Amino acid sequence: MARRWSKGWLVGALVVAAMLGGAASADDDFDPETHPEVRAMLEALEQQGLDGAALETTLREANFRPQVLEAMNHAAERRLRWDEYREIFIQPERIRQGVAFLNEHRQTLERAEREYGVPPEVIVAILGVETQYGRHKGTHRVLDSLATLAFHHPSRGAFFLGELKAYLAITLGQGVDPASRYGSYAGAMGYPQFIPTSYQAYAVDFDHDGLKDLWDNPVDAIGSIANYFHEHGWRRGEAVLVEASGPDALPQSIAFNRTEPPSTTVESLRKAGIEPTAGRLTPADQVMPIALDFADGHSRYVMGLNNFYVITRYNHSHLYAMAVATLAQRIQTARDGGA
The DSSP string of 252-278 is TTS--S--S---EEHHHHHHTT-EESS
Statement to judge: residues 323 and 274 lie in one domain: yes
Residue at 169 is within a domain: yes
The DSSP string of 226-256 is HHHHHHTT--TT--SEEEEE--SSPPTTS--
Statement to judge: residues 225 and 313 lie in one domain: no
Residue at 99 is within a domain: yes
Query: Mind listing the pLDDT tens digit for each residue in 297-325?
Result: 889 999 999 999 999 999 999 999 999 99
Statement to judge: residues 270 and 330 lie in one domain: yes
Burial class (CB in 10 A: 0-12, 13-18, 19+), 316: exposed
Statement to judge: residues 329 and 269 lie in one domain: yes
Statement to judge: residues 280 and 318 lie in one domain: yes
Q: Which domain CATH number covers 276?
A: 1.10.530.10
What is the C-alpha separation between 32 and 25, in angstroms, rounded? 18
Query: Mind listing the pLDDT tens digit for each residue in 11-48?
Result: 343 334 434 443 333 456 899 999 999 999 999 999 99
What is the per-residue pLDDT for 339?
54
Statement to judge: residues 303 and 158 lie in one domain: no
| Structural domain boundaries, residue 251 | 241-335
Exactly one of 130, 163, 238, 260 is catalytic; which is it?
Answer: 130
pLDDT at 114 over 80: yes
Total domains present in the chain:
3
Residue at 11 is within a domain: no
What is the C-alpha separation between 243 and 202, in angstroms, rounded? 31
Statement to judge: residues 182 and 257 lie in one domain: no
Q: What percent of the chain has pLDDT over 70?
A: 90
Statement to judge: residues 221 and 150 lie in one domain: no
Q: Which helix (H) or strand (E) holds 11?
A: helix 7-24
Q: Which domain CATH number covers 59?
A: 1.10.8.350
Statement to judge: residues 129 and 146 lie in one domain: no
Query: Mind listing the pLDDT tens digit for each residue in 53-105?
Result: 999 999 999 999 999 999 988 765 468 999 999 999 999 999 999 999 999 99
Mean pLDDT of 225-244: 98
What is the per-residue pLDDT for 97?
98
Statement to judge: residues 155 and 32 lie in one domain: yes
Statement to judge: residues 250 and 327 lie in one domain: yes
Structure pTM? 0.89
Q: Is 110 a catalytic residue?
A: no
- CA distances in angstroms from 44 to 31, 39, 149, listed in the order given: 16, 9, 18
Residue at 5 is within a domain: no
Statement to judge: residues 146 and 245 lie in one domain: no
Query: Mind listing the pLDDT tens digit for each residue in 246-275?
Result: 999 999 999 999 999 999 999 999 999 999
Question: Interior CA angle at 250 toward 249 and 255, to 5°?
Answer: 170
